[in-house]
Structure 1
Amino acid sequence: MNELISYILVVTVLTIMPGADSMIVMKNTLVYQKSAGRMTVLGILAGHFVWIVISVLGLAVIITNSPALFNIIKYMGAAYLIYIGVKSFMAKTFVSASSLDYAAGEKTKSDGLRTSYMNGFISNILNPKVLIFYITILPQFVGQDTNVSGVVQLVILALIMLVISMSWFLVVVETVNYMKRWLHKPGFQNLLGKGAGIIIILFGIRTALS
């Protein structure tokens, strides 16, 4: 039980730490509406699910032990984050007034939902730190003195992580959606757009250099 509590605490801290996933969730919630933010969260969770399958099959170890393959994933992820960050930084208007008015309703354009989902999925699946989590942190909490197999324990721990991640990111979506009232101010929009772009670019650079 103590190991489980320790694991939950570690995962919670890692989840709430600012990262690229959080910034993309915030950006898509602002650009579209909270349904797009939720789709981004769904994309992130789908990426985690892929990594869970890879870990269970043992392929994650192979990827980690292959510097070339690991670097491909790392640099592709870094390039993708920098691309999103540059787009946000260069945009003259972070969120148009018409988009804000449209976002007040319950519908969002399907292309916005698809884009948001793919943003979350690609960002997560190309994040080498997610791979490192499944290789270095998760196995530490798999107990040996138990009748439950290691694979079952791994899946349970991964599902706990998914629940924590989903809960946190949904809180982020609701919080950011509430902040939209400030986005009618052009100065705040410009500052937020460029700030978000710079932060995402920095995360991309840090990913490439790590």
Structure 2
Amino acid sequence: MDIDNILAFIAVTTLLVISPGPNGLLITKTVPILGRKAGFANIAGFVAAFYIHGTLSIFGISLLLIQSAQAFFIFKLVGAAYLILVGVKTLINNFKSEPVNQPSVVHDRKKTVSFYGSFIEGFLTNVLNPKVSMFYLAAFPQFISVDQSPVSAYLLVASHALVNVVWFSLMIVMLSKVKSISNTARFKKWLNSVTGVVFIGFGAKLALLKNN
């Protein structure tokens, strides 16, 4: 694969990554509430899911899933249900009050749990999204030929992952800069309310996605 194809793929991917979607919303929800490290855990989850989707696409499993109307329907509903569940959970947690004082041990444990929880959230948000598989299945034939090795396809996955890491890392830094604003209880409640509703909206939109 030549550098021109990789640069063209990065250009297309960048436009997709910076457009509003569940990943950006998840980062926006995570950083003000759980902190910068949890945000990077989200990104790590994104990347892990990309490599799974990429591998499935390389070996044709995703193609079989997309071609099977019943399998696609089930996969789509699972992904939609997860996004809606995240939205509902966020709204429910918005009405729960946090204790004012907690022992440091409990606080450290909570930070560890939030780190792994954020990774899982980032991972599931993408691995259960059939749009990612559809993107790879549509992109691979455009940028690599059938006679090229799977390594070429993994270069595209790596490029996609890199664009995500750069873009969402910048978002995390930006959100960290306004920490004084985002730490207020009023802002957190507003953010959770908006996040919950929008996640439910993304889930509903995914549920209505057609297998073209």
- Bin for the TM-score computed over the shorter chain: 0.7 to 0.9
User: Are 1:167 and 2:162 an aligned pair?
Assistant: no
Change (3 A) 1:49 1:94: farther
Name the count of aligned residue pairs. 203
Q: Residue 182 of structure 2 aligns with which residue?
A: 183
Q: Residue 48 of structure 1 aligns with which residue?
A: 50
CA contact (8 A) 2:44 2:119 kept: yes
CA contact (8 A) 1:20 1:200 kept: yes
* 1:8-46 alpha-carbon deviations (Å, 9 max, x no partner): 111000011111111112222222111111111101111
Q: Residue 16 of structure 2 aligns with which residue?
A: 14
TM-aligned CA deviation for residue 118 of structure 1: 0.6
**Partners of 1:97 and 1:11 in 2: CA distance:** 42
1:1-210 equivalences in 2 (<5 Å)? 1-92=3-94, 109-143=111-145, 149-210=148-209
Change (3 A) 1:5 1:91: same
TM-aligned CA deviation for residue 173 of structure 1: 1.6
Consecutive unaligned residues of structure 1, counting only runs of 5 or more, are: none
2:128 partner amino acid: L
Aligned-residue sequence identity (percent) comes to: 27
**Partners of 1:188 and 1:22 in 2: CA distance:** 18
* 1:58-93 alpha-carbon deviations (Å, 9 max, x no partner): 211111111111121111111111111112223336
**Partners of 2:159 and 2:145 in 1: CA distance:** 16
SS at match of 1:91: helix
| Cα-Cα RMSD | 2.5
**Partners of 2:31 and 2:97 in 1: CA distance:** 10
CA contact (8 A) 1:90 1:194 kept: no
2:71 partner amino acid: L
CA contact (8 A) 2:56 2:62 kept: yes
**Partners of 1:149 and 1:95 in 2: CA distance:** 56
**Partners of 1:10 and 1:95 in 2: CA distance:** 43
CA contact (8 A) 2:94 2:189 kept: yes
SS at match of 1:122: helix
**Partners of 1:46 and 1:5 in 2: CA distance:** 22
**Partners of 2:164 and 2:95 in 1: CA distance:** 30
TM-aligned CA deviation for residue 2 of structure 1: 4.2
* 1:150-199 alpha-carbon deviations (Å, 9 max, x no partner): 42321111111111111111112222222221134333232221111111
Consecutive unaligned residues of structure 2, counting only runs of 5 or more, are: none
TM-aligned CA deviation for residue 97 of structure 1: 8.6
**Partners of 2:5 and 2:195 in 1: CA distance:** 37
Q: TM-score, normalised by structure 1?
A: 0.86
SS at match of 1:136: helix
Change (3 A) 1:57 1:36: same
Q: TM-score, normalised by structure 2?
A: 0.85
Change (3 A) 1:108 1:77: same
TM-aligned CA deviation for residue 107 of structure 1: 8.8
**Runs (4+) off by over 6 Å:** 105-108
**Partners of 1:93 and 1:170 in 2: CA distance:** 29
CA contact (8 A) 1:93 1:189 kept: no
CA contact (8 A) 2:54 2:133 kept: no
